[in-house]
A and B are shown apart, each in its own frame.
Chain A
Amino acid sequence: MEREETAKEKDMTCLEHHAYPEERFSELEKCTICRESQVSTLLSMFGERQHLGFPSIFVYGHTGTGKTYVLETLLRKLELPSAFVNCVECCTPRLLFEQILDQLHQHCPAPENEFSSYERCDSLNDFVRLFTRGILKQSLEKETFYIVLDKAEVLREMDANLLPGFLRLQELTESNTTVLFLTEIVWETFRPNTGCFEPLILYFPDYSKVELQRILSSDYPREYPAEFYSSYINILLGVFYTVCRDIKELRHLAALNFPKFCEPVIKGEAKESDSHKLWKNIEPHLKRAMQTVYLREISSSQWERIQQEDRESSQLKGLSAHAHVELPYYSKFLLIAAYLASYNPARTDKRFFLKHHGKIKKTDFLKKHEKTSNHLLGPKPFPLDRLLAILYSIVDSRVAPTANIFSQISSLVTLQLLTLVGHDDQLDGPKYKCTVSLDFIRAVARTVNFDIVRYLYDFL
């Protein structure tokens, strides 16, 4: 820590005679907690304004390690000329190019200009030409211009010339430009087949538990002392740290559950220093939060309401508890038949569904390795004929193969309860797969009084 601090001071002294006042650095330092070494590395790479920057820098690290934040604050605080683009927003190259040019010219699409961009730019060729012209127009030739492409993994799926083009933009535009790629995916998966200009690769390491504690504690509510909030964060990390290290998620959970933590203090049951009592109060609550809020089973606003009304927090049914679907009678049996066809091997059909199937040797029947593997490997495709045969056998009354039955099959497909496997033939001998879970089909079977477990090969 101390070493990093001195490294930063060196930068300050090194750069102080060039446009960066010292207070900006101290401000910058305050904004970027636990990222001192990254900031100083980036600063030393950027150098002074008129120095040539590295053509492209590839920054990677986990979600929520402050890649976007650090670069944004760095560029803003030092007032470096830059364009900041999110590649997910720019789904076509044209949008991407025009946004960069807009930011270069400090042009903002607004009602006055009918939300038009500064210039029309369709291809990389035009972009390079217009960009070079723009640099001259804004008289930025002497300075490094930074283009930051956030979520750069999307670039891979866009035109093939885009990524190599941006990697060597400095050479193509013959200007002092640095392109920064921000992503959470490693560089190896980006490299095109025929190679490209290799960027400088920079890693933003994950926050350790201590650092997480420090960052999360830094935004404590002002009405409570810092140590109080810090002890709360400590408990929170104790529950969630093994599962989640994403700082955004943790911060959200911390904000959400803090009122519950304070409750005993407000009620006067415990004092702020009474850490054991507070821990006993919050811990089961946090464990429940992991199963509900963390999975977005119930929404954050619902969770807050529960806390306020002081209800038992597991009362409310989550999203996944509403999985029950009301279906017509034959559709239910069709679905059951499809489930049986998907999860039972075809050679066992005779034993399950034929009345007089003769004798089958038990040893022959129970192959060990096949057992339980069906619910492990997932559903297998089956032909339409087999589905209908099972349907006729499990429905007690006579079922006529009317158009209704067939249309119900195809509507089950559109409901995504079944899927069509292989699209080669729509009419003649299509194959299906059943894509519902065991719990779901059990619930359906219960409504028609059908004991499905008895017919499943895995549970014999």
Chain B
Amino acid sequence: MVICNFMSKRKSKDVCLPIGECLSKVHTVLRQRIFQHQGKRFGVESQHKHLVELLRRTTIHGESNSALIIGPRGSGKSMLLQDALEDLLGIKQVKENTLQVRLNGLLQTNDKIALKEITRQLNLENVVGDRVFGSFAENLAFLLEALKTGDRKSSCPVLFMLDEFDLFAHHKNQTLLYNLFDISQSAQTPIAVIGLTCRLDVMELLEKRVKSRFSHRQIHVLNSFTFSQYLEIFQDQLSLPPAFPDHRFAEKWNENIKSLTESKMVKDVLQKQFNATKDVRSLQTLLHLALCRVNVSHPHLNPADFLEAFRIRNLDSKANMLHGLSILELCLIISMKHLLDIYEGEPFNFQMVHNEFQKFIQRKAHSLYNFEKPVVLKAFEHLHQLELIKPMEGLTLRTQKEYRLMKLLLDSSQIIEALQKYPNCPTDVKQWAMSSLN
């Protein structure tokens, strides 16, 4: 984005770049938007206002606050927080004396690491040094105290942002959360604790003492938009910004996107995607896949790109794996399917599968599939390795390979479907699969 701005200022309005360079720019701009979430906000105006107001009260008036942003994955929680912070940092007073601490539940897996990280992000490593602290609270209090003395005028507000908040609740005794909320409750340094989580039941995870110190302010980010808004998001995500250097190309591109939004094929694809999930991130993945197909000889997106991208996104992975099996392995899978049909979903072992397979060979087929038992066992173990079958829990490790109880992780409809697609499937095998109770 910065590059584009710079370019447009320097060059005159009617620059005409070679098409390769144009497309390279398109990729740069759109990939940045998709992966770094720089798009527009959608349907979160009230939440945004609420959050900005909350943070403003902490940073300007010195009020301590705590809030949780809750929403499913990919619903734009981090983006909402980032937007609010950007709005806030526009105010000069805030920009000068506000400190941010970003923690992530995935990285700071225990309180010791978290505390070290807080020290590091507040640039207090040299202050703490080798000092030994009695307790966690003492250490944290010291850190915040150091900030107070560091700034002479008044105490300096700190914003704590806890990504993957629910993982912090799994720490021992929830010491970090307790102390953060405790500081926000008692009148000390003004801090704001903002948690981001995708779990709706996050309150149940908190201990009673931690829960009572939390302000119970929750901001829900739900994907509450309709399909027509979804189409708008689609258009917005793919359109080039006005700052794009080659205006003529940008205009053409945007026009094309607009016509795409109205085309029936694209709408169908998007409707299917919308019905499966409303989250914007999976839409972005789809767009990225389509965008990958754009190159010099194919400079504009067309509906077929989206169809292809949708197809790639929605491949059935198990069916793919079944497609690559050898005929022997496929025969074993069919035997298992028969066993499941006969014994109504009871687990099976290799001996039973082999028995069933033998029945097929003796009765139905010619001796073409007459393999030795160890060869069959090798095929069976390969299926286990691919995790298409799974051993039942418990005492399986000590029994012989042949008698280990297994269950099949495939649906019979999946098997039938895979058989239809299987290249050069022998007819007798197909017939055998269809006749379920023989």
Contact = CB atoms under 8 A, between A and B. Distances in A.
Interface of A: 10-11, 13-14, 17-18, 41, 44-45, 47-48, 50-52, 54-55, 60-62, 65, 123-125, 128, 159, 161, 164-165, 168, 170-172, 184-189, 194-198, 200-203, 205-206, 208-209, 241-245, 290-291, 294-295, 297, 320, 375-379, 419, 421-422, 433, 435, 437
B331 to A, nearest CB: 9
Contacts of B355: 376
Contacts of B73: 195-197
Contact of A378 (B32, B104, B403, B423): B403
A184 B399 contact: no
Interface in B98-119: 104-109, 113, 117
Interface string B366-387: 0011011011001100000111
* Chain B contact residues, majority secondary structure: helix
Given A128-B107, A161-B105, 10 more contacts: A14-B295, A48-B27, A52-B35, A165-B106, A197-B281, A200-B289, A205-B323, A290-B375, A377-B349, A422-B395
B327 interface: yes
Interface of B: 20-21, 23-24, 27-28, 31-32, 35-36, 73-74, 78, 104-109, 113, 117, 166-167, 198-199, 281-282, 285, 288-289, 292-293, 295-298, 312-313, 315, 317-318, 320-321, 323-328, 349, 351-352, 355, 368-369, 371-372, 374-375, 378-379, 385-387, 395, 398-400, 402-403, 423-424
B292 A45 contact: yes
Contacts of B321: 60, 62, 186
A206 B35 contact: no
A445 B320 CA distance: 49
A295 B371 CA distance: 12
18 contacts: A51-B31, A60-B317, A65-B324, A125-B113, A159-B109, A161-B105, A184-B386, A186-B320, A186-B387, A198-B281, A241-B326, A243-B326, A243-B327, A291-B375, A297-B374, A375-B351, A378-B403, A433-B399
A142 to B, nearest CB: 11
A125 B108 contact: yes
Contacts of A243: 326-328, 371, 375, 379
A128 B313 CA distance: 30
Nearest to A242: B327
A152 to B, nearest CB: 13
Per CB-CB distance, the 7 closest pairs between chain A and chain B, nearest first, are A378-B403, A206-B324, A14-B295, A186-B317, A125-B107, A44-B292, A52-B31
Contact of A435 (B104, B323, B400): B400
Contacts of A41: 292
A374 to B, nearest CB: 11
Contact of A10 (B296, B368, B395): B296
B400 A376 contact: no
Contacts of B328: 242-243
Given A164-B106, A165-B106, A185 B324 contact: no
A55 to B, nearest CB: 6
Contacts of B378: 294-295
Nearest to B78: A171
A195 B327 CA distance: 36
Q: Name which of B285, B292, B369, B371 has the most chain A CB atoms within 10 A of its CB.
A: B292
A44 B323 CA distance: 26
Contacts of B313: 201
B375 A47 contact: no
B28 A50 contact: yes
A62 B388 CA distance: 12
A198 B282 contact: yes
A181 to B, nearest CB: 13
Given A61-B324, A242-B328, A13 B24 contact: no
A293 to B, nearest CB: 12
A13 B288 contact: no
A205 B341 CA distance: 30
Contacts of A195: 73, 198
Contacts of A128: 107
A65 B323 CA distance: 13
Nearest to B371: A243
Given A14-B295, A44-B292, A195-B198, A379 B317 contact: no
A421 B152 CA distance: 72
B327 A52 contact: no
B23 A14 contact: yes
A302 B371 CA distance: 23
A200 B31 CA distance: 14
Nearest to A17: B20
